[in-house]
Amino acid sequence: MLYSHLFGKTSRSAGNKAVVASHRLLLQAGYIRQLSTGRYTLLPLGLRVAKKVEEIIRRHVVATGAQELVVPTLHPLELWQKANRDKKFGAAMMKVTDRNGAEFTLGATAEVVMMDLVNQFNVTYKDLPINVFQFSQKFRDEARPSGGLLRVREFVMKDAYSFHQDEADLVQTYQKYWQAYQDIAQDLDLKVTVVESDNGAIGGSISHEFMVETDVGEDTIVKCDCGYCANLETAKFVRQDINLGEPQLPLQIVDQPEWVETMEDNIKHYGKPKSHYLKNVVYKDSDGQIVIAVIRGDLAVDKAKLAKVYGAKGDLEPATDDDLAKLGTRPGWVHCWGHPAVYIGDLSLKTVHNFIGGQKEKTTDSVNVNYGRDFECQFFGDIAQAQEGDICGVCQRSKLRLVKAVEFGNIFNIGYTYSQPMEGNFVDKDGSLKKLYMGSYGIGLGRAIACVVETHHDQQGIVWPKSVSPFDVHLVGLDLFHQEVADAAHRLYRQLSDSGLAVLFDDRPDATAGVKFADADLIGIPVRLLISQKSLAGGVVEYKLRSSSSIEKIKIDSVVQFLKS
């Protein structure tokens, strides 16, 4: 490829909107361009990288025994409704209507169409497991896309689906994907941390996410020296005993000044640390039901954990002051019992004797409140967010560390989430009809690219791993206004290309050396070859790796051989 013909140039600045390194560099080096919020064009350079990444993913996914296919982008809305997926995905679903008024959703993920597809084949135990995948454009009306390709509204995803007789059978395929993902990460030169995760909108039981640790990550993962790694949303931690040695005192209603509303006010008034007070956080589910989370004062509610304990069908959102008014209360005055609401308590409620708070009124509040004796919640479980330094819930000894990360891929054990409502069945050996056990496995292509750039760049630009670089060699020609140098450079370019190497040849006769070097660094191709009047006089070209600063001189005649070996 002649650089002078390449559509999409480098630019000196990427504008002031790109803060994340991968976003800025991909923009500046001419890999991507934004169309609108969360929608990016892949320029020729970007598409070359995407194709490389796609091929790597394909190779390893095929190794799990998966077969590639592709389903339509528009899914009949009816199908999603049947599986109750429309509620789970909610506002993130894009919808379109055809000329007959039939409603479709733009595919955000494909569990339901895959389940529907499998259903059409009347499968039996002999057909199982079924393992299929596709690469296709996905649409999600994300509330807030950000970080360039890190989070977008439209993206290519590799999504795979497997169908099994039972969980034991799924586990085997699950393991293969686990291995495939490790292999993919290795080929992309990405360091991944595998964490336990919550299934969120996909549904099902325990699952894993493959995370790339980076400061620009929007997820937080929890790590322990014992090897335990989890998404913050599921992280198990020990709630330490605060004062269980103290005897339980009789419940009392005491006078309390009206200004005592917040945790800080409580501390000022009673002089005890946060952990001695009761805290309520109020949410509303998709049906308008008020949900009150009750938790020890020093802990924060984790919405994902809360939704799980509660078994929420849709989204939980924070309650408004109006919602509280309908309960007959207001912020700071919410009671830990007695309101017409669903109460969900955290495990930490059992680590304190004689809580302060719980039923604040204008001039009174309760003290010496004990969980189990004075009040109980309908639901009780782990709804608190782990914090840096908390004790690991698995080894019960080491301290947890919190690390920022990006979710590069996931493998989901989704069980009967879809086969149940969609009647996804198979005929077993004994002739009886049984539900299919399902798994799904996703990797976002653009995000994978962003992860690679995020972890492979320097001050000057991108430093592509060989495996995904848009070209094998960046040939820089200097002094091309001298005909004999230009001729030699073009000859070398043809030679390299003919040998099967993908070459980007900076053939601009008018750009200065500095400009060409800066562009080469920015674009980030691993190998840079330089031919100039000077090098030509010595019968050599200069060879430099993007990742190193040393330069090697190589005889022009043996360059092809050198690069091939």
The binding site for RNA (CB under 7 A) comprises 10-13, 15-17, 19, 34, 36-38, 91-92, 109, 140, 142-146, 151-153, 155, 157, 200-202, 209, 218-219, 303-304, 315, 317-318, 407-410, 442-444, 446-447, 460, 478-479, 481, 510, 512-515, 517-522, 530, 532-535, 542, 544, 551
Residues 6+ apart with CB under 8 A from 442: 109, 157, 158, 159, 160, 409, 410, 412
Least CB distance to RNA at residue 554 (A):
12
Return the number of the residue (12 or 99) whose C-beta is nearest RNA.
Answer: 12
Least CB distance to RNA at residue 200 (A):
3
Helix residue ranges per DSSP H, 271-390:
303-310, 321-327
Return the number of the residue (56 or 369) whose C-beta is nearest RNA.
Answer: 56
Return the number of the residue (393 or 444) whose C-beta is nearest RNA.
Answer: 444
Question: Which secondary-structure segment (H or E) carries 368?
Answer: strand 364-369
Question: Which secondary-structure segment (H or E) carries 46?
Answer: helix 44-62
Return the number of the residue (56 or 356) whose C-beta is nearest RNA.
Answer: 56
Kindly give the pairing relationship between strand 551-555 and strand 290-296: unpaired
Least CB distance to RNA at residue 269 (A):
28
Return the number of the residue (376 or 479) whose C-beta is nearest RNA.
Answer: 479
Picking from 398, 413, 387, 408, the residue whose alpha carbon sits closest to that of residue 235 is 387
Q: Residue for token digits 């674009």?
A: 523
Return the number of the residue (426 or 471) whose C-beta is nearest RNA.
Answer: 471
Q: What is the chain's Cα-based Rg? A: 29
What does each C-alpha distance from 36 to 95, 145, 146, 402 come to in angstroms?
18, 10, 12, 33
Return the number of the residue (368 or 413) whose C-beta is nearest RNA.
Answer: 413
Residue 109 and residue 13: Cα distance in Å, rounded? 36
Least CB distance to RNA at residue 179 (A):
17
Least CB distance to RNA at residue 146 (A):
5
Helix residue ranges per DSSP H, 279-375:
303-310, 321-327
Reduced to 3 states, what is the DSSP secondary structure of residue 502?
Answer: coil
Least CB distance to RNA at residue 163 (A):
18
Least CB distance to RNA at residue 137 (A):
11
Tell me how far apart the terminal alpha carbons of the chain are, to the nearest angstrom: 22
Question: Which secondary-structure segment (H or E) carries 492?
Answer: helix 483-498
Return the number of the residue (394 or 496) whose C-beta is nearest RNA.
Answer: 496
Least CB distance to RNA at residue 113 (A):
16
Return the number of the residue (224 or 520) whose C-beta is nearest RNA.
Answer: 520
Residue 423 and residue 509: Cα distance in Å, rounded? 67
The contacts found for 319-328 with CB under 8 angstroms, 24 or more apart, are: 319/282, 319/283, 319/284, 319/290, 320/284, 323/282, 323/284, 323/290, 324/282, 326/290, 327/290
Residue 251 and residue 271: Cα distance in Å, rounded? 19
